[in-house]
Amino acid sequence: MPGTYPTTEKSDFAVLGHQECWENVYPFIHQVRDAKLRAIPEEDIKYLFPYFPPRSIFRITVHSIQPDKQICGHYIETFLPPDRLDTVFSKENLRKVSEAAICADKLQVPVATLGGFTSIILEGQLNLLPAGLQTQFTTGNTLTAAFIVQSLQDACALLHKDISQSHLLIIGATGDIGSACAGYFLEKAAKLTLAARNRRRLYELSTKLSKCTVQLADSVEESAAEADIIIAVASATNVKLPHVKPGAIIVDAGFPKNIDATALDLRNVHLYFGGMGYVSGGYSFSPDYKQTLYHFPEDNIAHGCVLEAAVLAFENKRESFSQGRGHITSEKMDQISTWARKHGIVPAPFYNHQGLWQIQTKRYDDN
């Protein structure tokens, strides 16, 4: 069973998480088992994985740039099978997320973030978590949205793209993060196109955002062919964009990733993974599972949702800062970014599945 280390020390925060793909799970299971034991075949790991109860599997220490300030948290693995990260499996996934929430509460964690898909399962309703828990839960989506909009403005400056002259497409626009990005760029972009499957929700959102040219996408593929900038924040994978304007900027903030990057010609478009932050003071895991579970092209990169819990802990805010769909405002994005910057937590450098971009706006730890 993964995870054997003392869990009695005081904790400032927790992250409820899951794995993005089986390729992460297999080496991790091999790493935590005794090297002398016979390797478990991958199909057996796949079968057993969903039966593991959620539990803390490593500690996270995050260092602020403020002198002598560091916090310590738990990573609680939900053991959601990576191939069942779909709302179709909501019932079984909700049970695991609820067990993980109880685990955070037992560890007496003041504030915990619902990383990646764990908040999507709740569809923005934190009250679906078990009643009576002392731990405060946040979706982490406000800092994620803040990182997306900040990094996109940096990317536009770097690539000489004028947002006020650009056509922006948001895929997953009616979601918690998508609607926050739509609200933010509403009066900044020349044209805004909103995409999601449910037309009624799209229509309701577009009526709210009536101040500039907003259009609903009939087809993501067709809209992508006309967009200068694409933000992908859908709870979907494998979205194919066969025709993209040369020079377009694509931010994929999905976890797992939304866009099928293999179908893009990266010599002509600028793809980066958004919603990610950079911890200037550094962070570490104990035991150190970074290589197998949480590996990026540069050290000290982490998800916005993970970092939101750390920022709240640094600021002693024991509160459910991001409460679910439709509550993220530009003011809240400014607030959490200001707190984050105080501790040296800033948008991550630009990178994608091929590695870091060769050019960066500035040294990201100079923000």
Contacts to ligand NDP by CB under 6 A? 116-117, 119-120, 140-141, 144, 171-178, 195-198, 201, 233-236, 253-255, 275-276, 303-305, 325
Any bridge partners for residue 228, and if so which?
none
Helix axes 176-185, 330-342, angle to 10 degrees: 100
The least CB distance from residue 120 to ligand NDP, in Å, is: 4
55: left (phi over 0), alpha (psi -120 to 50) or beta: beta
β pairing state of 249-252 and 13-17:
unpaired
- Dihedral sign for Cα 224, 230, 235, 237, please: positive
Indicate the SS3 state at residue 303: strand
DSSP-derived secondary structure for 99-143:
HHHHHHHHTT-SEEEE-THHHHHTTT-GGGSPTT-SSEEE--HHH
The least CB distance from residue 170 to ligand NDP, in Å, is: 9
- In angstroms, what CA-CA distances link 85 with 90, 111, 226? 9, 24, 30
The least CB distance from residue 260 to ligand NDP, in Å, is: 12
Q: Which H helix or E strand runs over 184?
A: helix 176-185
Whether 182 and 170 have beta carbons less than 8 Å apart is answered as yes
Q: Which is nearer to ligand NDP, 110 or 115 (CB)?
A: 115
Q: Which is nearer to ligand NDP, 230 or 305 (CB)?
A: 305
Q: Which is nearer to ligand NDP, 25 or 276 (CB)?
A: 276
Whether 332 and 128 have beta carbons less than 8 Å apart is answered as no
The least CB distance from residue 221 to ligand NDP, in Å, is: 11
Any bridge partners for residue 276, and if so which?
303
The least CB distance from residue 216 to ligand NDP, in Å, is: 11
The least CB distance from residue 18 to ligand NDP, in Å, is: 9
The least CB distance from residue 217 to ligand NDP, in Å, is: 9
User: Nearest-CA neighbor of 248 among 267, 276, 220, 222?
Assistant: 267
**Residue 10 burial (CB count, 10 A):** 9
Q: Which is nearer to ligand NDP, 160 or 256 (CB)?
A: 256
What are the φ and ψ backbone dihedral angles of 93, each rounded to 5 degrees?
A: -70, -35
Whether 274 and 152 have beta carbons less than 8 Å apart is answered as yes
The least CB distance from residue 330 to ligand NDP, in Å, is: 16
The least CB distance from residue 276 to ligand NDP, in Å, is: 6
Q: Which is nearer to ligand NDP, 154 or 176 (CB)?
A: 176
Indicate the SS3 state at residue 67: coil
The least CB distance from residue 339 to ligand NDP, in Å, is: 16
Q: Which is nearer to ligand NDP, 30 or 327 (CB)?
A: 327
Q: Which H helix or E strand runs over 150?
A: helix 141-158
